[in-house]
Structure 1
Amino acid sequence: MTLDVEAVPASVRPETATDGAPPAAIDRIEHVVIEACARLSGVSADKVLTEARRGFFPGISDAEVELALVMAARSFVEVDPDYSYVAARLLLDKLRREALTFISGAPDAAGQSEMAERYPAYLAAYVGRGIDLGQLDPALARFDLDRLGKALRPERDEQFTFLGIQTLYDRYFLHSDEVRYELPQVFFMRVAMGLALNEDDREARAIEFYELLSSFDFMASTPTLFNAGTVRAQLSSCFLTTVGDDLQDIFHSISNNAMLSKYSGGLGNDWTPVRGLGSHIRGTNGKSQGVVPFLKIANDTAVAVNQCFAPDTPVYTSDGCKPISEIRVGDLVLGHSGSYREVTDVMMYDQVDPMVEVNIKHSVEKLKVTSGHPFYAIQGVPLGQSNSRTLKWLADDKVRPEWVEAGQLSAGDYVAQVVPTEIVPVQGLTEEDARLYGILLGDGHLSKNGTQWGVSGNPELDVHLEFVREYLERRGIHYWENGRGDTYLQIHWAFGRRAVRDSGTGRITGGGEPTLPFSYEDIYDADHAKRISRRFSHLPHAQTRALLRGLLETDGGVSRGVEIYFTTTSRPLAMGIRYQLLRLGVPAAGQYREREQSHTGRRSDGSEIGFSGPVKAFDIRVPAVEGIAELVGCRPLTKRNWIDHKGMVFTRVRDVASTDVVPTVFDLKVETDETYMTAAGLAHNGGKRKGAVCAYLETWHIDIEEFLDLRKNTGDERRRTHDMNTANWVPDLFMQRVEEGGDWTLFSPDEVPDLHDKYGTEFVEAYTRYEAEAAAGRIKVAKTMPAVELWRRMLTMLFETGHPWITFKDPSNLRSPQQHVGVVHSSNLCTEITLNTSADEVAVCNLGSVNLAQHVGPQGLDADRLRRTVRTAVRMLDNVIDVNFYTIPEARRANMRHRPVGLGLMGFQDALFKLRTPFASDGAVTFADESMELISYYAIEASSELAAERGSYESFDGSLWSRGILPIDSLRLLAESRGGRLDMDRGETLDWDSLRERVRSTGMRNSNVMAIAPTATIANITGVSQSIEPVYRNLFVKSNMSGDFTVVNPYLVRDLKERGLWDDQMVSDLKMHDGSLGAIDRVPADLKALYATAFEVDPEWLVDAGSRRQKWIDQAQSLNLYMAAPSGRKLDALYRRAWKSGLKTTYYLRSQSATHVEKSTLKGTDGRLNAVSSGPAPSSSPAPSPVPATIVDENPGEACGIDDPECEACQ
């Protein structure tokens, strides 16, 4: 197969690549695409090449060729999911060029087949360069890199889907100034080496760990993947703390939160010990304001201030410059990479924070922003210093770009403006077409009925009129002219040619074929304002300059021979020309002016015209740099008053001044880049990173009712924590009172201090004693209410705000192996960790997940492979504890003493697909039981083997383990405490007796070994379903500047193809029905059952499967519950079932509208961690109540991992 001249014309060959690399040769393009399609059925290299041709243009660079190839492959994914692998391999080719060139210091590229020989040498060079850059741990150089290099498996680069490799490229691979220099197999080896640093035979162990990671059999959590082998090895995922009941303890805990979240830890805080509202304060003889004000402080500390912009702040979007208040989830905004990224959330705050006006030199209007919002800026450069000297300072690291809060900026600082890098050619468009487009935007028009074009000008001065005549004549387009005197002329021509006539009447019924490659929508927006349309906004640079020429020769001019200006009354057009200049690396300043006019003008033919009323115009000052000056015959400038640095231009701040507070402000969350470009400067996504914190409170606390309301959007803002997750820590006794219809009494913990540390029968005895004392008046702060009333309110708030989650204290403690050394007071951010906490110990857990799908074949689970995987995985997790970087001593103390790890799983849904087992079936529940039993057995066995090799953990003696009580055995303790009321299966199939004896006699290396985390990001890397979740959708669509691309369930496509049902209509139907098969009549019932999506699976199946897993797990599982149309009765039944079934925790309640997240992105969010959504108002549906009422949630809680692009602790 060859690319013929027509497919890739000679004119397409780039003369010079933009990055200085040699041009991409046609034969290499062919080779790369053929190699990417190798060993994949159902794909065609010819199709990819033909589609890619549509994105080629004269002067195209290597990088742009690579992007065009990736986009071409991606566009066919809905035809066959294997094109996802093609797109991934083409992106890998780009990555190889980027990394190899960086490492070698000279242009370099290699195909997949060449990497078999090149990977070993590249590994050694990579380690050296990473150490030189200060990013890799120097200890990596002491490994036998030759031995490790030979162990690399280059062929495993081909197992990534596009989403997997894109995730790694965007977020994980090491980079220097946005240049990635880490390839996939070396990425896995870096993590493996980092975890093998303390092993005796570290090379052998590194290879063992590498094999596990690179095969996708197991994946470490995101912090471990980010940081293992680097100079800051913060590898732990989750932290749990208890807050004491005095000011010093409270603020020490808040400080610990800040330190832990600084390095991406997910936090769970136990706030129950803090005394309640109205309780006595001995030191001041006053009354406490309760726990809520301190929660507010913790929330505001985690989130700093609301870093937001005034509503009219212009932001660059794919559809032009928009006020930030008009941006919606799913829109595309310009990020720091120079590419467009999807908006995953829009936050609107009612606030009173201080605000400033930032006046930036190359802008049109001042930015009004809260003082805490960070901008990417360079500080410390004296006014008047030459650019060459400043660039030398940057090269020598004397100054550097950093995130600087708006209030900390000063006059003379430099603020970054991102140079957009995306190029989206319009097929068939020429430079002449682009110039005419600019002329039409300047002095042209299209009649409102869409039938006639026109261009006006002064025939004595305007050269564009002659260009228009020649353009039309060369294309055989008839035109006519009219004018007034010698100084005004209009050229007109019809919108269409060869008008369409009715065959019967002869009347004209249509305009015919358009005369130009433009339409009304390309010139005017919905308000009839001129603007550069989306499809012409990212033309190749030569066409962009032609477009600018057309604009400048109509509505522009030259002052004093060196100053170019452009004037327009259209705000969108003014912003558009600034954007086009920025694409060429040229920032433009300007001003908006209004003036009243009242005068009469005389035309050249003697007629008069009157002018009155306000004139509103934008004046844009265009720097006359080389490449722009030539367009208007101007002398090029030799000096620039901005800095070009690494894909950005930095322009001076003129002034920063305090300004009046705007009551309503806006902010965005943006996927991947986590930044967005305002029309004046680059701002950070969502301000500073929000602290990933969850506050827990026990259900007997006197402040529990206020705690339930913390996330409400109404009420006293001083008692609201919009950015903090919350969870109920529910004793069994409360649930029993709900079941019995009994009363429930609330207390302040300072009067019932031992309740916090009690559970089971001891809690019941103490609690009933305190109830009697309260009834006798001996307890001052207490309130009694029907238990079911509080329960209903808990469910109501869970539905309305997504919080607090419902978690259960007694099963978490009665089944904890560590009862002898403390109490489990809370779970973590994602509700899967249940570890002891105290004032002296901050619990830490290190996570990783088995890819269950990799261990399942047509015959079921491969137990031998699973055992090998679990054994190595537990060793890796145990090693994390010793090589970890600890930010606070309490965390190190706890981790070294107890050594807990959390082995979980992902790909559960994929495994069911392979087994042909519907999620909503007894078979799925049984499989959940059988698979978790094997993982539990092998994990306990592995930890016991490590104890024999390395010794048991310090606090082993006295634990349930030391008594031979395994997680499956602890069910008896829970059942006894509940008086036998436990609806939990207790079946087992393995030889647990011998393992019990081994654990009792040999010990355990880890106090805890299992926890099932959400795994969203690492599941994307490995290309499987998240954790234990049912599939959200079988098909969804993502968007970017080059168009939409589809992500589709490959198992479903394979089945539909076998039955002859996979066609364009099926794709259309799936899009119409949000990825669900339920409403598509021609899909057989068995496939509808197998591929049922999350909201088509009755949530009771999720609870039942979770219950079967829970009996084997010593910690917990992050279990989301899905309910398409919640009602009070349904919620009540579901959560009672969860408690009765022995679950330790539940996570989010997800209602139907949550699926709309995936229409555009997996990372979008309907659930808000913020005050008010700027999207459509929630429907005013009734909350859960004793009378069942259908509820459709338009504002569910935000789920960690699945929808939150920031929280990666458990992923």
Structure 2
Amino acid sequence: MTSPDVVRTVVLKRDGVVSNITSGLALQVSSTELQLHAATTLAAASTKHPDFSKLAGRLFAASLHKNTPARTFSAWVAMWANHPNSPFHPSFIDSALSAGPDLDEAIVHTRDFDFTYSSLRVMAHTYLLRVDGRIIERPQFLYMRVAVATYGTDTGKTIQLYNALSRHLFTPASPVLFNAGTRSQHYASCFLYTPDNSSPSGQLESTRDLDSLWLADGGIGLSLADVPPKKQRPSPQPGILPLLRIYDAHAEYTSLHRQKRPSAATIHLPIWHAEVRPFLACRTTQAYRHRVRHLYPSLWIPDIFRSMCRLRDHQDWTLFDPATVPLLLSTHGEQFTHAYETYEDTVDAAERVSAVDLWTAICRAQQETGTLFLMYQDSINAKNNHSHLGIIRTSNLCTEILQYTSRAHTAVCTLASIAVARFVRSDKTYDFDALHATARIALMSTDALLDRARYPTDPCKASVDTTRAVAVGVQGLADAFMQCGFPFDSPDARRLNREIFQTIYHATHEASVDLAARLGHYPLYPDSAASNGLLQHDMWKNAAYSSRYDLEALRDRILQHGLRNSMLTAQMPTASTAKLLGNFDGTEPYTSNLITHRLLSGDYTEICPWLVTELTERGLWNEDIRTAILTNHGSIQTIPDIPEDVKDIFRTSWEIDPRSIIEMAAERGPFLDQSQSMSLSIASPTPDLLSELQIYAWSLGLKTGLYYLRTQAPTYPVPFGVTPLPNPNRAATVATEQSTKAPPKDPSPPVSCEACSA
């Protein structure tokens, strides 16, 4: 019988990989250089089969092990604890050494060989600790470092958390992976900041707080709703745009001092503000000298505008100086609508504009830059457990965190995401019990980090102490659907979508009640919606949930013991940590069945592994199919040799009705205490289409109407060595360009929650 090693060698020779490796070698080369060269070459062959990326990852892991000499975890900590440039915090050193033998025995280094090449390269470049520029840490040591930093000397919980992280069941957000156990101890991902806009000196003084938040590895969201618009008399006011330039300059400067991520912030502004029109263009080419690159604009839209009666009937929309309309800053819902209409009759408006013209300008900005983000203020405030604290006027960088914030209370959130594809069994059924257990571990470990973290300002610490907000979300939802054989928007997928989020919702609340019974509820729990028995799923109309969990029994326990955390769930983008775990981002459908990895060692592309697995099992994976997928830029819809049921499962985001994406977001909304970063992919958007979609999102009760809008370029680059085919979207795209005269796409790359902070 032929051995697997012989078969593997034959395959490598057949595909020309061996000759590619040997042809690039120098006459003299070290074993480490040989391993890295072979790994890079194998990764470049990943379009032939995703297993090349796995093999490349194993070579890279072997090289990493060779250059981080084998020691036990406790010996490794002890060695670097005495180094002049030790990265470790003294409390971490004490905890790691006190439980050394038990921790050493728990570590399983062979799990490093489960990484793909891209995942391990990202981990090595971004997450593994370095001293004097040299990597000193192995992946398993990173996971144990996080576990020890979370639970200290509680060895049982430490090992339980290590195993969950090491098996890639879930992951904390990037700041935890960066800083756990180190001297910085900054673990929070998101800061919701309220600047002092009462005077020019207060506005400038607020930049010091922003600098502190950015230097703590955080992403920031803030509102400028109360900033006076630009005017000359009676007292001159510079308006919003110069302030944005100041913030942008500070973000650029602090980016130079951040070790891992650039600084960024989302600026939230109500759509009735007098300077909304120049604001919505602040990232476009129209902004000229006021253009910003580190800031992202977001509009807060009330029901009176969003219901589209003004837009539908071609009515005017009134813009105000916030100083003249104080009730618009402190009300929502019907009270806001009444105040707005009253002010239209009683206050001198800053400007009256056509609602149609304003919406068209919003859509033009989205077509060019992918932003503005759209937030629905009345839905946010009507369905929020912080409603008893005051009006919510801002979100975070990526629009999924919604908490009350003030000058004395900078809202903070620490995040984690569960790799939901890990719970698909081999028979394509789903293991909800394992998911529930993992969600409990994720909640409890994230809560434990709140007490061990450092916070950059006193208002941040005050927020954490009084609200203890966290956010548990998911990554790899599309991977789970593909593993189960479900088309993304099929009834089966939509049911699984609901049940996954209901499971996480129940598990996190159950764990938070358990913590409250033992440690007490969070200080601001009294008078909250939850304290009155009103939970998030009660706040949505027509919420659909299964009988898998007894939500009434959960409510009774909450009323008895309270909650340890004011917020428990949200859906973040997960861009960076999804790469670590080999999943697709968040709840997004795949944008292409070709996945391009951009690494320091060079770019390489692989084909969706679930697609290759499916085609291989059906005996359809061959060179002709592979070439056809490359030729069609990752779409399989026009390849005749692929069965229709496979085509349905592996549709890309461009081939899925965006209304289905919105509906699925609404269906999981009742199980998200905060919100979700929902992006839409539309090849050729028009103002009418975007208006229709946003009316639909608003009507279904979404809090975040839109995070990023993704559009397609008129043409695709031609894959190397492949004969180009006509772009099926070319005619529609050209027609859209001619009708809208949309300017070119913003060359600056979009930023995501993971790219900045989570």
Q: CA offset at residue 1068 of structure 1?
A: 1.9
Aligned to 1:233: 185
What is the 5 A alignment of 1:816-827?
816-827=384-395
Counterparts in 2 of 1:786 and 1:1044: CA distance versus 1, 3 Å: closer
TM-score (norm 2): 0.90
Deviates more, 1:825-834 or 1:788-797: 788-797
Whole-angstrom CA distance in 2 between matches of 1:38 and 1:213 = 34
Corresponding residue number in structure 2 for 1:964? 533
Letter in 1 for 2:332: Y
Match of 1:193 in 2: 148
CA, structure 1 residues 918+141, in 2 after alignment: closer, same or farther (shift >3 Å)?
Answer: same
Task: Report the CA distance between 1:85 and its aligned residue.
Answer: 1.6
Equivalent position of 2:129 in the other structure: 174
**1:691 maps to which residue?**
263
The match for 1:296 is: 245
SS at match of 1:959: coil
Shift of 1:83: 2.2
Gaps spanning 5+ residues in structure 2: where? Answer: 721-732
Kindly provide the CA deviation profile for residues 124-172 of structure 1, in whole angstroms up to 9, marking residues without a partner as x. 2244315523201222332311111111122322221111111111111
Q: Does 1:1007 align with 2:566?
A: yes
Task: Report the counterpart of residue 804 of structure 1 in structure 2.
Answer: 372
Say which SS state the counterpart of residue 807 (structure 1) adopts: strand
Which letter does structure 2 place at the counterpart of 1:820? H
Match of 1:1065 in 2: 624
Deviation, 1:848, is: 0.6
Pick aligned residue for 2:86 from 125, 134, 139? 134
Amino acid aligned to 1:177:
D
Tell me, in whole angstroms, the C-alpha distance in 2 between the residues paired with 1:1127 and 1:794: 11
AA in 1 matched with 2:628: D
| CA apart distance, 1:1022 | 0.8
| 8 Å CA contact 1:1034, 1:1048 repeated in 2 | yes
Distance in 1 separating the partners of 2:205 and 2:161: 38
Rounded to whole Å, the distance in 2 between the matches of 1:1023 and 1:1110 is 26
Cα drift, residue 211 of structure 1:
1.1
Distance in 2 of aligned mates of 1:1158 and 1:924? 34
Distance 1:79 1:168, change over 3 A: same
1:210 to 159, 162, 169: 162
For residues 421-570 of structure 1, the aligned pairs below 5 Å read none
Shift of 1:942: 1.2
Q: 1:1191 to 1:298 in 2, by over 3 A?
A: closer
Percent identical among aligned pairs is 29
Question: What does 1:828-867 align with in structure 2 at a 5 Å threshold?
Answer: 828-857=396-425, 858-867=427-436
Cα deviation digits, residues 109-135 of structure 1 (max 9, x gap): xxxxxxxxx56x254224431552320
> Per the alignment, in what secondary structure is the counterpart of residue 299 of structure 1?
helix
**CA deviation string 1:450-508 (max 9, x = no partner):** xxxxxxxxxxxxxxxxxxxxxxxxxxxxxxxxxxxxxxxxxxxxxxxxxxxxxxxxxxx
Q: Distance in 1 between matches of 2:627 and 2:403?
A: 48
**Which SS does the other structure have where 2:522 is aligned?**
coil
Taking a change above 3 Å as real, the CA distance of residues 1189 and 141 of structure 1, as seen in their structure-2 partners, is closer
Distance (whole Å) between structure 2 residues aligned to residue 1117 and residue 163 of structure 1: 27
Q: Deviations over 1:1013-1040 (max 9, x none)?
A: 1111111111111111111221245588
Task: Find the aligned partners of 2:621 and 2:453 in 1 and give their Cα distance.
Answer: 49
Task: Quote the offset at 1:843 in angstroms.
Answer: 0.8
Match of residue 1134 from structure 1: 693
Contact 2:274–2:321, Cα closer than 8 Å, also in 1? yes
Distance in 1 (alpha carbons) for counterparts of 2:374 and 2:570: 17
The aligned residue for residue 441 of structure 2 is 872
Q: 1:304 to 1:1192 in 2, by over 3 A?
A: closer
SS in 2 for 1:278: coil
1:847 partner SS? strand
| Residue 1192 of structure 1: how far off its partner (Å) | 9.8
CA distance in 2, matches of 1:153, 1:43: 30
Matching residue's letter, 1:730: I
The corresponding residue for 2:646 is: 1087
1:161 to 116, 122, 126: 116
Mapped contact 1:1153–1:1192 kept (Cα < 8 A): no
1:1111 alignment partner, SS class: helix
Change in 2 beyond 3 A, CA 1:279/1:770: farther
Aligned residues: 735
Give the corresponding residue for 1:10.
Answer: none
Partner of 2:451: helix, strand, or coil? helix
Which of 263, 267, 273 is the matching residue for 2:216? 263
SS in 1 for 2:375: strand
* Per-residue deviation, 1:908: 0.2
Matched, 1:766 2:334: no
Does the CA-based 8 Å contact 1:1030-1:1094 persist in structure 2?
A: yes
The 8 Å contact of residues 521 and 565 in structure 2, kept in 1 or not, is answered as yes
**Contact preservation (8 Å) 1:1125, 1:1190:** no
Report the AA paired with residue 1201 of structure 1. S
2-structure distance, mates of 1:987, 1:189: 37
CA, structure 1 residues 48+1152, in 2 after alignment: closer, same or farther (shift >3 Å)? closer
For residue 754 of structure 1, the aligned residue among 296, 315, 327 is 327
* Deviations 1:694-714 (CA, angstroms, capped at 9, x unpaired): 111001111111211212213
The verdict on how the C-alpha distance between 1:1135 and 1:862 changes in structure 2, with shifts beyond 3 A counting, is: same
CA contact (8 A) 1:74 1:84 kept: yes
How much does 1:1094 deviate? 1.6
In 2, Cα distance between equivalents of 1:762 and 1:745: 17
Give the letter for the 2:226 counterpart: P
Q: Which has the larger radius of gyration?
A: 1
Question: 1:185 & 1:241 partners in 2: Cα distance?
Answer: 36
Is 2:204 the counterpart of 1:251?
yes
Q: What code does the residue aligned with 1:1200 have?
A: V
Q: Hey, what's the Cα distance between the residues in 2 that align with 1:41 and 1:852?
A: 34
Structure 1 letter corresponding to 2:237: S
The answer to whether structure 1 residue 731 and structure 2 residue 282 are counterparts is no
Give distance in 2, aligned partners of 1:93 and 1:836. Answer: 48
1:41 and 1:65 mapped to 2: Cα distance?
17
* 1043 and 231 in structure 1: CA distance in 2 versus 1, 3 angstrom threshold: closer
Are residues 1042 and 1121 of structure 1, via their aligned partners in 2, closer, same or farther at CA, if it must alter by over 3 Å? closer
Q: Return the structure number with greater helix share.
A: 2
What secondary structure does 1:1116 align onto?
A: coil
* Distance 1:85-1:137 versus aligned 2 partners, 3 A rule: same
Distance of 1:695 and 1:38 partners within structure 2: 59
* TM-score, normalised via structure 1 length: 0.57
Name the structure 2 match of 1:700.
272
Distance 1:811 1:1180 in 2: 37
> Cα gap change, 1:790/1:988 in structure 2, threshold over 3 Å: closer, same or farther?
farther
Superposed CA deviations along residues 234-280 of structure 1, whole A, max 9, x for unmatched, are 11101111223322331232221111112321010111011223386
Q: Give the AA of the match of 1:801.
A: T
Aligned match for 2:361, one of 771, 786, 793: 793
The 5 A counterparts of 1:1138-1153 are 1138-1145=697-704, 1146-1153=706-713
Structure 1 residues 417-437: Cα deviation after superposition (integer angstroms, max 9, x where no partner)? xxxxxxxxxxxxxxxxxxxxx
C-alpha offsets along residues 505-547 of structure 1, whole Å, 9 cap, x if unaligned?
xxxxxxxxxxxxxxxxxxxxxxxxxxxxxxxxxxxxxxxxxxx
- For the residues of structure 2 that align with 1:68 and 1:168, how far apart are their CA atoms? 18
Residue 729 and residue 1153 in structure 1: after superposition, are their counterparts in 2 closer, same or farther (change >3 A)? same
**Alpha carbons 2:118, 2:597 under 8 Å: kept:** no
- Is 1:276 the counterpart of 2:229? The answer is yes
Q: How far 1:794 sits from its partner (Å)?
A: 1.7
SS at 1:954 equivalent: coil
8 A contact 1:239–1:268 mirrored in 2: yes
Distance in 1 (CA, whole Å) between partners of 2:714 and 2:553 is 46
Question: What is the match of residue 6 of structure 1?
Answer: none
1:1052 maps to 2:621: no
Match of 1:77 in 2: 46
Task: Please tell me whether the aligned partners of residues 803 and 1197 of structure 1 are also in contact (alpha carbons under 8 angstroms).
Answer: no
